[in-house]
Chains A and B, each alone.
Chain A
Amino acid sequence: MTSVASALPWPRVGAGGSVAPLCVAAFAAFALTVPGFATGTNIEAVLIAALPLLLLVSGQTFVLVSGGIDLSATAVVGLASVAGGLVMSHDVQPGAGGLPPAAGPVLMVLTGALAGAVNGVCIGALRMPAFMVTLTVGMFSGGLAVLLVRLAADTETLFNLPRAFVALGGTPLAAGLIAGVSALAAEVLLGGTAFGRMLRAVGYNARAARTSGVPVVAVTAAAYVLSGTFAALAAVLLTGSLETASPAHGRTLLLDVIGATVIGGTSLSGGRGQVWGAALGVLFLGMLSNALTLLNVSDFAVTIVKGGLILVAAIVDRAIRPLRA
């Protein structure tokens, strides 16, 4: 083991370690073969487009490490976006000056946390299957978002958001700061705190964790609250950069969220995972779809390539864990 690897908070680098060379190789290959890939503006576009996904993936990592899965995260993005739009948009609130400017984003984050709390209580305390709970909470959130926006306005999209909010989510620097600081905080929380270690123990062996005094229910629920909160932050970025609040935000991202996390070395069966690996997974997927788009490959072909790669990552994940009892 190299000194770099052993200095990391979680010493077994696992599949996460193989993503960095993969990213470098992908960059080199695309730069050489894809016209227009290695230009400053294109690279900047790839990075900016990756920021909401980075937030979603940071939250998803907590959940996957705990041994669960959050399929509701992308629908929560749409619900949080609508919740923010309803209090901020001048379409709905002609005299919105009455509310403090922070009210919109704060309400969005609370919406995400609440959806996560519903997931967390059902999965942690009531021991319901994560797959079923988050799928239904996702359906509920998606439907609720559309319903709310229809009740408030005739369209499905809310425009005329406050300028300060648009600047918060839409300026590359601000968005980059939000996503970067959040992802870093997630990495420290997961890799360097007692909570993170408890979460991993729950993912590896929940019974052993419980016997060792880990509050399994609370730790599990916290993972889903974090996932919902990070989804709401992604909603702030998407809503700001697109200057609209819409239930459709994030709708197409679910495959990328799970895919980037798994490609980044986070195990689908719990215990193992790092946010930095998932961040590299985001970068890899972002470069891949950008390059394919520049080559005029059709959308469905891009989906085929991504799906295949994620399947391969999941197979690798299964193959390298022989010790599970």
Chain B
Amino acid sequence: MTAQSPAVAAPRVRVEAVHKGFAGVPVLRGVSLTLAPASVLGLVGENGAGKSTMMNILGGHLRPDAGSIHVDGAVYRPRGASDARKAGMAFVHQELTLFANLTIAENLHLVRFPRRLGVWIDRTASRRLASEQLSRVGLRRGPDTPVEQLTSGERQLVEIARALTHDARVLILDEPTTSLGALERQRLHDLIRELRHDGLSIVYISHELGDVLRECDRIAVLRDGTVVAEGDAGGFSVRGLVRHMVGREVGQFYPAPRQAAVREPLLRVRGLCRGTRVGPTTLTVGVGEIVGVFGLMGAGRSELARLIFGLDKPSAGVVLLDGRALVGAPPGRIASGLAFVTEDRRLDGLCLEAPIAENLALASLRRLPRSLVGVLTGATIKRAARRIGSAVGLAEHVDLAAPVGRLSGGNQQKVVLGKWLLTRPRMLLLDEPTRGIDVGARAEIYQLLHRLADAGTGLLVLSSDLDELMGISDRILVMRHGELNGEFPSTAFDREQMLRAALPASVA
């Protein structure tokens, strides 16, 4: 970055060398950014590159471990989201946060209603104020309209109007177009241009690289917690942005590539679909094969895995394991040899407060040996837990009676893997198997997956981390909008082609 000359307007926001880590895992490693007044900065990067963390710091939700932020020359160190709002930060989150049962005006003024004599809500003033706010974002709807009657694009505009309630100087839009149609998207972009004209500084985060190139003045690319490229939008192309986004060297923690082989089919999925989330999907995983499914957030990866495992009911399609159709709920499928490492350990992978041993045994309770009259002793469980724990690389000194929630993310994931390996699965589904895990544990888990495949287990690995899939898979399927959109054997792995196949249709 060049030194600022006095003639150039002082930046609205200056982020300098910001670091942030979670539980010892660095997420931001010295991010520096500048945001000029009355300009739009596009922020792009793969999932996990650190975009959301950076914006949560700006929005006051997180505090940086190191580094400094200045807003209009003054030190900016918010103690919370409301502090950040007072400093002029307006943050529109990816998930819409409006209350559908309330009216537009109620949503806009929920935090601070206009009052009469400080007590009674002044509905007239609220309506008048809401009308002004709505006209600013160009939404022609009455302030008394219930939000549930609005389209997702209109709701997006209400969100923005609400964010701009306080005298906003900076507007942060996180993936604002994911749920918008073409017309609504156009309307949003018109609004962004107007707001910029009014002097607002805008951060625009999106996977829609075409939009970013068109609508932004400058673009910054984040990768692995650092800014790897920054410059005027005119200097970038979609191709160039993609190259910057994925340009990392493949880490040495991936195991050696596996030999190509002709494989007997093990898992066959035929025309599986559910509503609008998962289109008819057909795929095959061979005995001892590792198949990766790559898709960005919202592509329908987890939904597909849940269908295969029987957690959700498909609207059509069949799942065959070794030629036998799998029907019904998970218990029967587990007995047939299917296992599912879910995306979110804390939500549906582990009982965090329960002992490690009980978690390891949870999926195998029906098959562990019984002593007299059906009693399943703690000793039996402990023995099985100890055996499978060492198989997945859980350290000897770990107290299996301790709650699993006390373990690190990596060790928690090993417990999830151990739980499933104890069921002796022939086919393992893994959704984001290394999310939130330190590098050391990742390497161990990759080695473990390869050993399993070498022993004949079939693996279907669903992930939004392309490098991970390229590092461990024999074959990669790309998923987009709930459908498979390309298949790449390991000899034809091409990062750019695969990312383009995964990006929304408007870019590719």
B352 in contact (CB, < 8 A): yes
B115 in contact (CB, < 8 A): no
The interface stretch among B173-181, B253-261, B400-408, B438-446 is B400-408
A197 in contact (CB, < 8 A): yes
Q: How far is the CA of A208 from the CA of B363 in the complex (A)?
A: 10
The answer, among A11, A188, A214, for a CB contact under 8 Å with B355, is A11
The answer, among B342, B352, B376, for a CB contact under 8 Å with A325, is B352
A304 in contact (CB, < 8 A): no
Are the CB atoms of A213 and B330 closer together than 8 Å?
A: yes
Are the CB atoms of B351 and A201 closer together than 8 Å?
A: yes
| Nearest CB of A to B501, in Å | 30
| Contact flag A212-B378 (CB < 8 Å), given A204-B353, A271-B351 | no
Are the CB atoms of A323 and B352 closer together than 8 Å?
A: yes
Are the CB atoms of A323 and B406 closer together than 8 Å?
A: yes
Are the CB atoms of A213 and B363 closer together than 8 Å?
A: yes
Are the CB atoms of A194 and B368 closer together than 8 Å?
A: yes
A272 in contact (CB, < 8 A): yes
B395 in contact (CB, < 8 A): no
The answer, among B348, B352, B358, B374, for a CB contact under 8 Å with A210, is B348
| Contact flag A324-B352 (CB < 8 Å), given A12-B401, A211-B311, A211-B330 | yes
Contact with A along B342-361 (1 / 0, CB 8 A): 10001111111111011001
Are the CB atoms of B377 and A9 closer together than 8 Å?
A: yes
Query: Which residues of the other chain, A, contact B340 by a CB distance below 8 angstroms?
Result: 211
Are the CB atoms of A209 and B362 closer together than 8 Å?
A: yes
| Contact flag A212-B354 (CB < 8 Å), given A194-B365, A194-B366, A197-B362 | no
B375 in contact (CB, < 8 A): yes
B334 in contact (CB, < 8 A): yes
| Nearest CB of B to A201, in Å | 5
| Nearest CB of B to A321, in Å | 6
| Contact flag A212-B419 (CB < 8 Å), given A188-B375, A204-B351 | yes
The answer, among A1, A194, A201, A213, for a CB contact under 8 Å with B376, is A194
Are the CB atoms of B401 and A11 closer together than 8 Å?
A: yes
Please name the residue on chain A nearest to B334 by beta carbon: A213
B331 in contact (CB, < 8 A): yes
A207 in contact (CB, < 8 A): yes
Please name the residue on chain A nearest to B332 by beta carbon: A213
Please name the residue on chain B nearest to A188 by beta carbon: B375
Which positions 182-216 of chain B face chain A at CB distance < 8 Å? none
* Of A7, A188, A323, A324, most B-chain CB atoms within 10 Å: A323
| Nearest CB of B to A37, in Å | 38
| Nearest CB of A to B212, in Å | 35
| Nearest CB of B to A209, in Å | 7
Q: How far is the CA of A9 from the CA of B377 in the complex (A)?
A: 7
The answer, among B350, B355, B358, B375, for a CB contact under 8 Å with A192, is B375
A215 in contact (CB, < 8 A): yes
Query: Which residues of the other chain, A, contact B329 by a CB distance below 8 angstroms?
Result: 215
Q: How far is the CA of A214 from the CA of B354 in the complex (A)?
A: 15
Please give the number of chain B residues whose Cβ is less than 8 angstroms from any Cβ of chain A in the complex. Answer: 38
Q: How far is the CA of A61 from the CA of B363 in the complex (A)?
A: 23
Query: Which residues of the other chain, A, contact B401 by a CB distance below 8 angstroms?
Result: 1, 6, 11-12
Query: Which residues of the other chain, B, contact A212 by a CB distance below 8 angstroms?
Result: 330, 334, 362-363, 419
Q: How far is the CA of A212 from the CA of B360 in the complex (A)?
A: 10
Are the CB atoms of B311 and A192 closer together than 8 Å?
A: no
| Nearest CB of B to A219, in Å | 11
Are the CB atoms of B330 and A197 closer together than 8 Å?
A: no
Are the CB atoms of B349 and A208 closer together than 8 Å?
A: yes
| Contact flag A215-B375 (CB < 8 Å), given A12-B355, A204-B351, A323-B405 | no
Are the CB atoms of B403 and A201 closer together than 8 Å?
A: no
A193 in contact (CB, < 8 A): yes
Query: Which residues of the other chain, B, contact A192 by a CB distance below 8 angstroms?
Result: 375-378
Query: Which residues of the other chain, A, contact B351 by a CB distance below 8 angstroms?
Result: 200-201, 204-205, 208-209, 271
Please name the residue on chain B nearest to A218 by beta carbon: B331
Q: How far is the CA of A325 from the CA of B309 in the complex (A)?
A: 24
A8 in contact (CB, < 8 A): yes
Are the CB atoms of B403 and A208 closer together than 8 Å?
A: no
Are the CB atoms of B376 and A324 closer together than 8 Å?
A: no
Are the CB atoms of B355 and A9 closer together than 8 Å?
A: no
The answer, among A7, A197, A210, for a CB contact under 8 Å with B361, is A197
| Nearest CB of B to A273, in Å | 12
| Contact flag A9-B378 (CB < 8 Å), given A211-B349, A323-B405 | yes
Are the CB atoms of B349 and A12 closer together than 8 Å?
A: no
| Nearest CB of B to A107, in Å | 27
| Nearest CB of A to B430, in Å | 13
Contact with A along B374-410 (1 / 0, CB 8 A): 1111100100000000000000000001010110000
Are the CB atoms of A204 and B354 closer together than 8 Å?
A: yes
Q: How far is the CA of A209 from the CA of B311 in the complex (A)?
A: 12
Which positions 302-325 of chain A face chain B at CB distance < 8 Å? 321, 323-325
Query: Which residues of the other chain, B, contact A6 by a CB distance below 8 angstroms?
Result: 401
Contact with B along A34-57 (1 / 0, CB 8 A): 000000000000000000000000
Q: How far is the CA of A271 from the CA of B419 in the complex (A)?
A: 19
Q: How far is the CA of A197 from the CA of B331 in the complex (A)?
A: 16
Please name the residue on chain B nearest to A271 by beta carbon: B353
The answer, among A1, A209, A210, A323, for a CB contact under 8 Å with B353, is A323
A287 in contact (CB, < 8 A): no
Q: How far is the CA of A267 from the CA of B350 in the complex (A)?
A: 18
| Nearest CB of B to A210, in Å | 7
| Nearest CB of B to A146, in Å | 41
Q: How far is the CA of A297 from the CA of B34 in the complex (A)?
A: 74
Are the CB atoms of B330 and A210 closer together than 8 Å?
A: yes
Q: How far is the CA of A324 from the CA of B378 in the complex (A)?
A: 24
| Nearest CB of B to A7, in Å | 8
Q: How far is the CA of A61 from the CA of B381 in the complex (A)?
A: 23
Query: Which residues of the other chain, A, contact B375 by a CB distance below 8 angstroms?
Result: 188, 192-193
A-B complex: 6 closest residue pairs judged by Cβ atoms:
A204-B351, A323-B405, A11-B401, A207-B348, A194-B365, A212-B363
Give A contacts to B, CB under 8 Å: 1, 6-12, 188, 192-194, 197-198, 200-201, 204-205, 207-215, 271-272, 321, 323-325
What are 24 A-B pairs at a CB distance below 8 A?
A9-B378, A10-B378, A12-B403, A194-B374, A197-B362, A200-B351, A201-B358, A204-B351, A204-B353, A204-B354, A205-B348, A208-B362, A210-B311, A210-B348, A212-B330, A212-B334, A212-B362, A213-B331, A214-B365, A215-B331, A271-B353, A323-B403, A324-B352, A325-B347
